[in-house]
Amino acid sequence: MDDRGAIPGAAGLVLVDGVSLFRPEEQVFEAMLEGFANQQLARNLAYSTVQAREHQLRAFAGHAEAFPWLWSPHLADEWFSDLRAVRHVTRSTVRSYQVAIRGFCSYLTDPAYGWASECERRFGTHPIQVIHEVNAAAHVADSEAEPARRAFTRAELQELFDHADDEVARKQALGRKGWLPAFRDATIFKIAYGYGTRRTETAMLDAADFGRNPNGPEFGDYGICYIRHGKAQRGSPPKRRSVLTVWAWTSEVLEQWFTEIRPCFGLPNNPAAWPSERGLRVGPQQLNKRLAGYRDALGMDPALEFHSLRRSYVTHLIEDGWDPRFVQEQVGHNHASTTSIYTCVSSDYRTRTLRRALDAMVADALNPALKPAESNPTGGTQ
Catalytic annotation, residues: 198, 231, 307, 310, 333, 342
User: How big is the chain, counted in residues?
Assistant: 382
Q: Which of 365-375 are b and which e, b meaning 16 or more Cβ less than 10 Å from the residue's Cβ?
A: eeeeeeeeeee
CB burial class (10 A; 0-12, 13-18, 19+) of residue 221?
middle
Q: Choose among 160, 205, 208: nearest CA to 306.
A: 160
Cα 35 to Cα 9, 39, 103, 113, 169, distances in angstroms = 4, 6, 12, 9, 54
End-to-end Cα spacing for the chain: 71
Q: Choose among 315, 373, 363: nearest CA to 339.
A: 315
Distance CA 375, CA 362 (A): 11
Distance CA 207, CA 229 (A): 14
The neighbour count for residue 251, using CB atoms within 10 Å, is 20
Distance CA 83, CA 93 (A): 9
Angle, alpha carbons 269-228-310 (nearest 5°): 110
